[in-house]
Structure 1
């Protein structure tokens, strides 16, 4: 069990460790526990991510996800989709994805320096997580902290913490400025979970 969890943790850590011009959507007073309306799920680097009906994103696997609503729902979808897109980007496309989904700063520079030193050949199907949902630990008009809950092939659960900031009229990843990553093993899904699994068709 510990070996399986270790493999699962690698993916979760990768998602948070790598944890564009956008929408003009008017700000709302939506609750952080209100779920986004999901239009469809798409596969990015072997991982399914949700695409909102009105909260974003637009773009595709090879184009940086952008165009999120200035709401908690938009922030959550940015945290999920942009983290997956960046962590699974190919050796050829990661510079374009990084520039489009991450806010400028020390964290983005650190990521670029480290990513340029490694080669990624693809995603191991046995380690691919399923996005269960999320909770929002903190939210303001300028920043949000989103805990993304994931389930792995051995039914273990983990929550990875991703920060996003509102810049240039869109949400973008605020990458950590050191080598640490935040991941928490879970015994069960949080009671305040915004469940996204039921939106899969």
Structure 2
């Protein structure tokens, strides 16, 4: 378990900084949506060595050389935003992270704190043993303004972990919401969740 959590922490500086907060009560007038329907995946793209899914219609609408944006206002769009944006922030280079942070992360105290801390360190290429495969996700809470996504990852030693990630709709798109508390955002798993939206079969 120690190796499992250490690997997760190494690969995901931002995956461990994207967490859950209380989302409040859902809108009573919100249309019913499926939290378990998988998004249609067009391709997978390598972001800092981590392969992430690119949706056919749910986003992102741009390439990995830009901060990811252009997600559908659906559970599937929220999930793809959580996955792609958290990986992009976690693997951002010392030169690129300010632009990525300012584009894909919702403004607030947590973003300011992240920026102050990130400016103090230099991150080099990830250890290949610490690079995960994205297995899929579960949505633990969803409204059309916020979503909590658990991203399930598998590491080279076959250990599993889930990253608790939150995105919010800011008027035009989904953006990461970094946590303001110290709650753990990476949890070791003994097995794949039964309600997993599995994305492994979409790899091409």
Instruction: Identify whether the pair has TM-score above 0.5, normalized to the shorter chain.
Output: yes
Alignment counterpart, residue 67 of structure 2, candidates 64, 68, 72: 64
Partner of 1:157: 160
TM-score by length of 2: 0.89
TM-score by length of 1: 0.90
Is the aligned partner of 1:9 residue 2:8? Answer: yes
Does the CA contact (< 8 Å) of 1:138 and 1:144 recur in 2?
yes
Alignment counterpart, residue 125 of structure 1, candidates 118, 125, 128: 128
Partner of 1:40: 43
Partner of 1:22: none
- Unmatched segments (≥5 aa) in structure 1: 20-26
Question: C-alpha displacement at 1:180, in angstroms?
Answer: 4.3
How many residue pairs get aligned? The number is: 193
* 153-162 or 175-184, which deviates more: 175-184
Question: C-alpha displacement at 1:181, in angstroms?
Answer: 3.7
Question: C-alpha displacement at 1:48, in angstroms?
Answer: 0.1
Does the CA contact (< 8 Å) of 1:17 and 1:179 recur in 2?
no
Question: C-alpha displacement at 1:177, in angstroms?
Answer: 1.6
The CA RMSD measured in Å over matched residues stands at: 1.7
Q: Distance in 1 between matches of 2:96 and 2:6?
A: 25
Partner of 2:200: 197
Question: C-alpha displacement at 1:61, in angstroms?
Answer: 2.6
Does the CA contact (< 8 Å) of 1:62 and 1:93 recur in 2?
no
Q: Distance in 2 between matches of 1:103 and 1:115?
A: 16
Question: C-alpha displacement at 1:110, in angstroms?
Answer: 0.9
Q: Distance in 2 between matches of 1:49 and 1:9?
A: 16
Question: C-alpha displacement at 1:7, in angstroms?
Answer: 3.3
Is the aligned partner of 1:96 residue 2:96? Answer: no
- Unmatched segments (≥5 aa) in structure 2: 19-29
Question: C-alpha displacement at 1:3, in angstroms?
Answer: 5.4
Does the CA contact (< 8 Å) of 1:12 and 1:160 recur in 2?
no
Is the aligned partner of 1:167 residue 2:167? Answer: no
- Tell me which stretches of 4 or more aligned residues in structure 1 moved more than 6 Å: none
Q: Distance in 2 between matches of 1:178 and 1:92?
A: 27
Provide Cα deviations, 1:37-59, integer angstroms capped at 9, x if missing partner: 00000000000000000000022
Does the CA contact (< 8 Å) of 1:18 and 1:86 recur in 2?
no
Question: C-alpha displacement at 1:30, in angstroms?
Answer: 3.4
